[in-house]
Amino acid sequence: MERKYNFFYWGPLLFYTKIHSTDLKKCAKLCSKKASSVSETLAGVIKHEHYISPQSYVKIIDPYFSLFRHAYERWYGKTLIQKINIESAWVNFMVAGEFNPPHMHTNCDFSSVLFVKIPEALKEEHKKFKGNGGGPGSVAFTYGEDRAYTPNSQYFFPQEGDLFIFPATLTHFVAPFLSKGERISMSANFTVGD
């Protein structure tokens, strides 16, 4: 099975790939509101944020790390030889009015976000957006200062199966939306080393 990816030429490596539908279904099975809450340690204004098993999650997404390593080598001109270790993983069940403010992650090297479910009503809401930026329900990554001829932000309206991996210190945020439905995303933090 051929897997494709892309990355975006600006400051740090912002890696993107679409995970296979069978892997997405496996990830969706890990998402539960019955798991322990992680809200007290996160920046988001989201009622339901719950831990997921890091080991179970990494077993599913591990094949995509070979693509990430290839992109890393192309971007930085050097091989990422250390092992990538998962430190924590959680799921966000986001509804209307909730959001993740601009933030970064600490005590790790890389972070990721995988979009598991995008409500149809949110897709329709986003189609009607005419303003600047990414619009309702978008995910944004910012780096450095806003200057002429220097892109310092990337906005995406996510689709189901979209996986982003990025340096943990890269500022990112998720815009709120107004429509009904629940958007589900999974996040994880990683370290590199032995």
pLDDT in tens, 102-146: 999 999 999 999 999 999 999 999 999 988 888 999 999 999 887
pLDDT in tens, 38-73: 877 777 788 899 999 999 999 999 999 999 999 999
Please choose, from the candidates 193, 191, 189, 156, the residue with its C-alpha nearest in 3D space to the C-alpha of residue 52.
189
Q: What CATH number is attached to the domain comprising 14?
A: 2.60.120.620
Report the pLDDT value the prediction gives residue 39, as an integer from 0 to 100.
Answer: 75
Quote the mean pLDDT of the chain.
91
Is the dihedral angle over the CA atoms 158, 26, 172, 167 positive or is it negative?
A: negative
136: containing domain? 5-193
% of the chain residues with pLDDT over 70: 98
Report the pLDDT value the prediction gives residue 181, as an integer from 0 to 100.
Answer: 96
**Structural domain tally of the chain?**
1
Report the pLDDT value the prediction gives residue 37, as an integer from 0 to 100.
Answer: 87
Cross-strand partners of 189: 88, 111
HSE-up (13 A, CA, CB side) for residue 137: 31
DSSP string, 83-138: EEEEEEEEEEEE-TT-BEEEE---SSSEEEEEEEE--HHHHHHHHT--SSSS-TT-
pTM attached to this predicted model? 0.91
Residue 31 predicted with pLDDT over 90: yes
Report the pLDDT value the prediction gives residue 10, as an integer from 0 to 100.
Answer: 60
Average pLDDT over residues 133-160: 89
